[in-house]
A and B are shown apart, each in its own frame.
Chain A
Amino acid sequence: LEEQRKKDEL
């Protein structure tokens, strides 16, 4: 989840 949220940013 943490990973996913980080990659959500550009």
Chain B
Amino acid sequence: MNIFRLVGDMSHLLAIIILLMKMWKSRSVAGISGKSQILFAIVFTTRYLDLFTSFVSIYNTSMKVFFIGTSYVTVYFIYQHFKPTYDSNHDTFRVEFLIVPVGGLAFLVNHEFSLLEILWTFSIYLESVAILPQLFMVSKTGEAESITSHYLFALGSYRALYLLNWIYRYYFEGFFDLIAVVAGCVQTILYCDFFYLYITKVLKGKKISLPA
């Protein structure tokens, strides 16, 4: 494992912990898109089915279990435990517009036409766009709490770091996965506008608020 991959994973872990801490400490899920979190739960569930078929390492298994577990805890917090604080009026992105095309694409463009492989491909494609309901919510309400911004920054950085990891692996290991790389690029590009706002506003102590 190279440094980019490790820091990327840690960034992903940090994002999830920030989100859980925000919800738990403030007893609120305000500003968080339940739809994006459902998509992430689907992403982890469909990607890590290989937990049942192959063992890579303790690190690999524990991270996978952590990601799946916390994604369900997050969805539970939003739709059950802290439901009264969930801002469903602003969480109106139509997820079927993501799931249906992504499902079709995974069916058509994959490495191997087998169930696990198609589900893996589906999860890679879906992850690349899963943040859209959350970004849509931020643009609709025109603001994001600082803690939500930190969460989004850590989550966005993770895939950007994976891009560096793939460049490294291409040069030093001859490893190249076109599906993951293209989806990773799409995913990172979707965050660019947010990254800009984060650097120009949040890091200077202001919260993100967009003109109405």
Contact = CB atoms under 8 A, between A and B. Distances in A.
A10 B9 contact: yes
Contacts of A7: 50, 54, 56, 120
Contacts, number: 23
- Secondary structure call for the B interface: helix
B167 to A, nearest CB: 14
A10 B180 contact: no
| A interface, size bucket | under 10
Contacts of B120: 7
Nearest to B64: A10
B63 A8 contact: no
A8 B180 contact: no
B60 interface: yes
B35 interface: no
B175 A5 contact: yes
Contacts of B177: 6
B67 interface: yes
6 contacts: A7-B54, A7-B56, A8-B60, A9-B5, A9-B165, A10-B63
Given A6-B177, A7-B120, 16 more contacts: A4-B56, A5-B175, A6-B180, A7-B50, A7-B54, A7-B56, A8-B57, A8-B60, A9-B5, A9-B162, A9-B180, A10-B12, A10-B60, A10-B63, A10-B64, A10-B67
Interface of B: 5, 9, 12, 50, 54, 56-57, 60, 63-64, 67, 120, 162, 165, 173, 175, 177, 180
Interface of A: 4-10
